[in-house]
Structure 1
Amino acid sequence: MAAPLTSISRRTAVLVLVAWILLAVGLAVTVHKNDADADDGAKLYLPDSRPSQAAQQRLREVFPGQCSYSTALVVLHSDDGIDLGQLIGPDGAVARLVGWIRDPVELPDTVSAHRADQVRRALRDAPVRSTATDLQLIHQLTARRDDGVVTSALVAVGMPDIFTARRTQAVVKALRGHLEAMQADGTLGRLQFDITGDAGFYLDYNDATAQSVERSTVVTVVLVMVILLAVYRSPVAVLVPLATLAAAVHVAMRTLYALAPLGLQADPAIEMLVVVILFGSGTDYCLFIIARYKEAAAAGGTLGEAMASALRGTGAAILASALTTMAGLSLMCLAEFRAFQKAGPSIAVALGVGCLASMTLAPALYLLAGRLLFWPARGGPAARSLTGGLWQRLAAAVTRRPMAATVLVLAILAAPSAASFTAATSYNIFDELSGGWSSVRGFEILRRDFSPGTMGPLTVLVRAPDGKGNLLDDAAAWSAMGRLADRLAADPMVENVFWPGQPLGLNTVRYPTPADLARSGLILRAVRANYYTDDRTAAKMTVLLREGPYADASIDAAGRLRHVAELAAADPEAPLETAIAGPSATLADIRDTSRRDFVVVTAAVLIAVYLILLVVLRRPVLGLFLIGGTVLSFTAALGAADWVFVRWLGETGLDWKVRFFLLVILVAVGVDYNIYVCTRIAQERRRLPLDEAVRVALERTGGIVSACGLIVAGTFASMIAGNLSLMIQLGFALAVGILVDTFLVRPLLVPAIALMLARADERRRPRGAADGDESAPSV
């Protein structure tokens, strides 16, 4: 596949460089980030068949003006306190904000022109609850203060799409811009504001991710420069990979922007992973090429011939490495969680661009640089090894005592690997941001002044069987709803239940029958408007939990309450159809889905990698051991991350996405080094005795592979420079996993196991087979 480049000349190099310049400029002009801004409100992260998503869809159908996919919670607050009447009265800040939401004639400058009409429609149609009008919220707020002075107020604005949708983020930006204007003109007085809820959180999350991308990119570039300078001592040898990979990242991201409508992902989090993976793997590819190029140039001949030789010697290995990694990442498409479905193939496409750049643009730049590539190193272009003596001693030790090397590695990794099986997991989105962000501050104020469950209550949809029957006037159905409310309230995690018979919640007036409610006047009208559909065939209940919606206890409770609600279908007097929606219910489904995805994708990736090893090495048993070594690197890295972030730093748990990305990336990336070592052993085995072949292979691969491992680990570690908990944890775990694979599994465990298996093969080999017989086992 590398044949077109085996006869590369300076003229061809110029053409390749011009082609890349035209491609980069063309994509910059024709493809923009906004091209990836397709609103995906209907494309939820979970399959539509999941109970929480089906419930959400039914709620939106039967209560079209009252239910939303996500919520922005505007928290107005003052540490000094403010009179309740001034805060929520007809001329108060809450009323003015709600008035603007209902008629947003003027929008802040932060709203782009092409989004203006969408934002106005979304605001006008948004379900709005506030402490000025909502009886539940007023009751919660005033119940906590008895002096008429409060410190906060709440305006909940429903969104027409999920919180990740571009239109949702545009609406939140409009809210923030208008509140800043109210603050500037004195309308808010002493009040401060924060925007939280899932919609507010994601706006902060995107900003934090963008900052993290910038920091990680700077750290990655600096780190790669330092390592390359240490290895080659040549500024040109450093600049070529950096220029190549900068172009690759640009082209890759523009390609993802263009393909986003087809299902690929191009958000800031994916951009960060693209940067670190391309700079890590791409630098490795460039290192392999320049190492062979220098060897060939030192042997004599023209630089064009040397580059042809380098590409012949490395092209197949680089392609095999890239395709193996791309295959592993692409198998994430088997996940049901749609963010995983998109992320893996997106990174695989970007890696393909990086591989193409490394095999075309980098050789062209190397060739055009001429002898400057080797300046100022003395003694010609021969590559120097900084750690040759170390690898010679290590190779000798492994070949002398392979069992001891195996036991040593297993002993070192046993404790962190064991810790991985009890590693805590967090599904709380607010654990991903520090306390300095607006959404986190707002969340903490809500927990102080309101019920924590206010941030994301559960909504129980209740329907008459087959959609027939009047739930408001039917006494039997009324009693059945009361029994359901009582069963829901019996759960220890439930703080309050609001339903038509107790519209102000538990421990308030309860209307035993529909007739009692009918005599309540204003309460009856409020119940009809807020709890029932127009035809009275469906009703809803609101359940507040004692913890925030993202706490593990709340997620567990959502599963229990779903089971309780399902029992209403068996009510002997009036069976009811039920469904539960809300953040905790969604997270319960995400937890179940992610566990399923981890098992399915892990099995698929391991089987795929094993088949690749089987094709390349033709040694089934050795392939199993190599897979086991990579899994050992994964468990050790996960356990180390749990030690650092949970047990030492006191975080709630590792982000639930860390485990998934860690395994897929480590297996996909780590298998390359194992293939490289084992194939080199097989090559040396054709001309050397077994022990000598292992020793020579380890000596000759140690330096380059350790340098590559350091670069990849360093690029992953650059993610720690960001401010997102997910990326910090994942970057740390990936760096640890790569270092374990580079300095323990690959140089000690893999050669030791290969040597012991080969010795066992030799003992079973028929007498008379020569050591160098190519039909004999090579490893």
Structure 2
Amino acid sequence: MFAALGGFVVRRPWWVILAWVIAAGVVIGLAPKLTSSTDEKSFLPESYESVRASDLRSEDFPQQENIGAVIVFQRSDGTPMTAADSAEVARISASVQARGIKDVLAVTPGQVSPNGLVQTSTVAMPEITDPNDETPQDAVEAMRKDVKAQVAGTGLSAGITGQAAQALDERESSESAGTLVAVGTIVIIVLLLLIIFRSPIIALLPVVIIGLIAPMATGLIASANKIFDMKADSSIEQLLTVVLFGVGTDYVLFLLFRYREVLREGDDAKNGMVHAVSRVGEAIASAAAAVIVAFAALTLSTLGMLRSMGPALAIAVFVTLLAGLTLVPAVVSLLGTRVFWPSKSWRVTPHGSGFARLGRGIGRRPAVFAVSSALVMGVLAIGALGYKANFDLAGSSLPSDKESVVAMKNLEKGFPPGTTDPTEVYLTSTSTTGRPLTPAERAPFEAALPRVEGVGSVTEAVLSADGRTAFYSVVLSDSPATDDALSTIKDRLRPIMHKAAPPGTRALVGGISAVYVDINRAVDRDYSVVFPVAAVCIMIILGLLLRSLVAPWYLMASVALGFGATLGATSVLFQRIGDQPGLMFMLPVIMYLFVVALGTDYNILMVSRLREEAREGHNPHDAAAVAVKHSGPTIAAAGVILAGTFATLMLAGNSTLSQMGFALSSGIAIAAFIMALIFTPSLTALIGHAAWWPGHGDTGPAGEKQRETERVV
């Protein structure tokens, strides 16, 4: 099949290129804009309590003021606030409100903190119902300019924090991150390809081709999101950049290395490309299929951000696969050997390379290499025991110099950390007769609420218009995203208030801390569903490719070991050395899928070559030596480029993307240089022909002859 595809592309390269240009133009021209969301609550199913509480608020308290932002005032010299300072706060608050900024409903000065160091003004804004609506963020931007101008010369300093302010800083950070990631990705790919092939044409080839298909993939993703009403996480555009360029460059390398190899064996340029596609096409298609099904498994997640991320990345990889099997061969077949210009090294097979020596070492002592590589991954995996999840995607992911982060730290000098994001507690009547709540029903509930450990303060009850629901604003003693705050919600506040609700009523606990608790629960559920489904699907693909029931098991075991090593290294770096509160809560899911799927790419390339060499008549040890010699340069080059590409996420100045960048880049490095180059070939050499049972995919005419010889001996 792949030989036929290669023959068609080589015979009609201009048709293939024209078809891609037309398809890209149609998709880009008709596709809607790709939008994203940073609202964690919008990604949870309606069955979770925090979402039900939010729905109750919208229904029974449509006019309830939502604290969208908080202006934090303090004296520039760090001394306590004076009466004159408070008068200035009141004047500035009234002035900001008088400006009539859209979505700013009221600006209300608060009391000075008990220690006198801080005073706040709360900014009432409409509750965010459309995660793509940037009006609240624009309002904060306007307020910041106004407040900065008005505090000048007053002896006060001020900053704005809160949900809308964090969303604004996140938007600005993401915009700059996108530019940095895109530029860094292209620079790394071009430089590394120049070093590897010493050809400017090859260095620019992936950039030009992927530059064409990237807008096409984005357009298809945006169309799918619109059709299926999916929401994209705010980090999806940065991920798309590295996935398209990283995976796309991998597939270009797989093809070009094999193309160069067959040219060295004497094939002409045209037949050489057909031969390369026929030999490496199955490996590329299988590798892409493993990535696609791993990403598609995210559709089983209960979290909307992961459900939308999975199909988006799967679409990107599928488009990249099609380009790798059609567009890239078409372009290279037109260029012929000129693609390697000005280098002449493609004509001569190097002797005595490091990969040849590594292959010979693995062939002679596979047990030593298998045990050593397993020990390295096992030691790194120990660090995963200290893994902790962090659910504050907006606040903790921002650079420390962003205004919302600085203002929050200043706020905590005088007020409980939960002031900006109070927890919402509701007591609502479940009576079918429409009977309102009575004071007698509310009394024991209200008495129990402030006695819950971890609750800092509770406001007076606010009744709905029909009197059926009472709302209480609760400030926790701890910052909303901390483990202590989440423990307060999960272990104490919810159980106690559910129990305290009298017969005929129901208690609901909402707010951002409750959202984080529900996200934690959803992620735990996803671990037990998404991981196994992705693993089973990849094993099926491996089994079909290798016609074996044995090899998929130890290949997936090696990938699982690589996953543990990656999580361990990331946990140690960011939690112990970096002293961060935890890793982004969805990082293990993303990391598992990337490391498992993309790591399987390299395993597939290596094990395909192992089978090919066995079919040529080599015994298992010699097959490992030859496979490492020939596939080693490809896997190493692809691993370096893909790891470098993911590492560009660390340029974003955003701790969430930095964690993701380190985890994925180190995971790819482990998958390429330890797992695929050492562990897989050495273990396959140890297992021998049994690795291909029951299909004996290593048996070709020469391989069968070799096995007969071994049986005679």
Query: Normalising by structure 2, what TM-score?
Result: 0.90
Query: Which residue of 539, 546, 556 maps to 2:470?
Result: 539
Indicate which of 173, 176, 184 corresponds to 1:219: 184
Match among 293, 308, 322 for residue 274 of structure 2: 308
Q: Which amino acid aligns with 1:423?
A: Y
Q: Which whole-Å deviations, capped at 9, do the CAs of 1:178-228 have from their partners, x for residues lacking one?
A: 441464478996655433222321221122122122112222212112221
**1:322-333 paired onto structure 2 within 5 Å:** 322-333=288-299
SS of the residue 2:296 aligns to = helix
Distance 1:730 1:499 in 2: 43
Structure 1 residue 248 corresponds to structure 2 residue 179: no
Answer whether contact 2:232 2:308 (CA < 8 A) is retained: no
Asked if the contact 1:388/1:703 (under 8 Å) is kept, the reply is no
Q: 1:567 to 1:410 in 2, by over 3 A?
A: same
Matched, 1:736 2:701: no
In structure 1, stretches of 5+ residues that fail to align are 105-119, 132-136, 501-530
For 1:319, which of 281, 285, 294 is the aligned residue?
285
Measured in 2, the distance between the counterparts of 1:641 and 1:761 equals: 33
Distance between the aligned counterparts of 2:488 and 2:556, measured in 1? Answer: 38
1:619 partner SS: coil
User: In structure 2, what is the equivalent of residue 170 of structure 1?
Assistant: 135
Give yes or no for contact 2:42–2:304 (8 Å, CA) kept in 1.
yes
Query: Per-residue deviation at 1:40?
Result: 11
Alignment of 1:13-412 (within 5 A): 13-25=13-25, 29-31=29-31, 35-37=33-35, 44-66=42-64, 68=66, 71-80=68-77, 83-84=82-83, 87=86, 92-100=91-99, 103-104=100-101, 120=102, 122-123=103-104, 128=106, 130-131=108-109, 137-138=110-111, 141=112, 143-145=114-116, 151-162=118-129, 165-167=131-133, 169-181=134-146, 183-184=148-149, 192-262=157-227, 263-264=229-230, 269-298=235-264, 303-378=269-344, 381-382=346-347, 389-412=353-376
Q: SS of the counterpart of 1:579?
A: strand
Decide whether aligned partners of structure 1 residues 179 and 603 sit closer, same or farther in structure 2, where only a CA change above 3 A counts: same
**Aligned-partner Cα distance in 2 for 1:605–1:281:** 19
1:492 corresponds to: 453
> How far did residue 637 of structure 1 move?
0.7
**Deviation of 1:87 (Å):** 4.4
After TM superposition, list the pairs within 5 Å mapping 1:399-548 onto structure 2: 399-429=363-393, 430-466=395-431, 468-471=434-437, 474-477=438-441, 481-500=442-461, 531-548=462-479
Residues 194, 89 of structure 1: alpha-carbon distance in 2 compared, 3 angstrom cutoff: closer
Aligned partner (choices 535, 544, 561) of residue 606 of structure 1: 535
Change (3 A) 1:336 1:475: closer
**Aligned letter for 2:60?**
V
Partner of 1:6: 7
Q: Which residue number in structure 2 is paired with residue 516 of structure 1?
A: none
Q: Is the 8 A contact 1:87 1:153 kept in 2?
A: no
Deviation sequence 1:311-348 (CA, Å, 0-9, x none): 33333322222122111111101000000000011011
Say which of 700, 723, 730 aligns to 2:630. Answer: 700
Aligned CA distance change for structure 1 residues 427 and 458 (closer, same or farther; 3 Å): same
CA contact (8 A) 1:236 1:369 kept: no
Q: Which residue among 517, 520, 531 is the counterpart of 1:588?
A: 517
Tell me the amino acid that sits aligned with residue 7 of structure 1. F
Amino acid aligned to 1:144? N
User: Which of 678, 681, 684 is equivalent to 1:751?
Assistant: 681
- For residue 674 of structure 1, the aligned residue among 603, 607, 627 is 603
CA distance in 1, matches of 2:82, 2:252: 67
Answer whether contact 1:24 1:247 (CA < 8 A) is retained: yes
| 1:556 maps to amino acid | S
Q: 1:762 to 1:355 in 2, by over 3 A?
A: closer
Cα displacement string for residues 570-619 of structure 1 (whole angstroms, at most 9, x for unaligned residues): x4xx6642111111111110111111112211111111111112222233
Using structure 1 for the length normalisation, give the TM-score.
0.82
The range that moved more, 606-615 or 333-342, is: 606-615
| Superposed CA offset, 1:214-257 (max 9, x none) | 11222221211222112211111211122112222222223323
Q: Report how far residue 396 of structure 1 moved.
A: 2.4
- In 2, Cα distance between the equivalents of 1:682 and 1:332? 32
Tell me how far 1:625 sits from its aligned partner.
1.2
Q: 1:320 to 1:774 in 2, by over 3 A?
A: farther
1:421 alignment partner, SS class: helix
Query: Taking structure 1 as reference, are residues 202 and 388 closer, same or farther at Cα in structure 2, changes over 3 Å only?
Result: farther
Bigger drift between 232-241 and 287-296 goes to: 287-296
Compared CA separation, residues 466 and 489, structure 1 to 2 (3 A):
same
Over residues 490-534 of structure 1, what are the superposed CA-to-partner deviations in whole Å (9 max), with x where a residue is unaligned? Answer: 33311122234xxxxxxxxxxxxxxxxxxxxxxxxxxxxxx1122
Answer yes or no: is 1:683 the counterpart of 2:607: no
Matching residue's letter, 2:589: F
User: Shift of the alpha carbon at 1:454?
Assistant: 0.9
| Helix, strand or coil at the partner of 2:8 | coil
**What's the RMSD between the two structures over aligned residues?**
3.3
Structure 2 CA distance for partners of 1:594 and 1:159, relative to 1, 3 Å: farther
**1:405-424 per-position Cα deviation (integer Å, ceiling 9, x unaligned):** 22212222222212212212
Do the aligned partners of residues 39 and 320 (structure 1) sit closer, same or farther apart at CA in structure 2, a change above 3 Å counting?
closer
Match of 1:114 in 2: none
Alignment of 1:626 with 2:555, yes or no, is: yes
Matching residue's letter, 1:63: F
Q: 1:229 to 1:412 in 2, by over 3 A?
A: same
Task: Note if contact 1:264-1:343 (Cα within 8 Å) is conserved in structure 2.
Answer: no
Pairs aligned (count):
698
Q: Cα gap change, 1:24/1:73 in structure 2, threshold over 3 Å: closer, same or farther?
A: farther
Aligned residues of 1:545 and 1:554 also touching (Cα < 8 A): yes
1:42 & 1:648 partners in 2: Cα distance?
28
The residue matched to 1:577 in structure 2 has which SS? strand
* Identity score, percent: 25
Decide whether the 8 Å contact of 2:480 with 2:513 is kept in 1: yes
Q: Secondary structure at the match of 1:431?
A: coil
Answer yes or no: is 1:726 the counterpart of 2:656.
yes
SS of equivalent residue, structure 1 residue 448: coil
How far 1:89 moved relative to its partner? 7.9
1 CA distance for matches of 2:214 and 2:638? 19
- Deviation for aligned residue 1:362: 2.3
Q: Please identify the structure whose Cα radius of gyration is greater.
A: 1
Which residue identity lines up with residue 685 of structure 2 in the other structure? L
Residue equivalent to 2:569: 640
Q: Is the 8 A contact 1:94 1:155 kept in 2?
A: no
Offset at residue 547 of structure 1 (A): 0.9
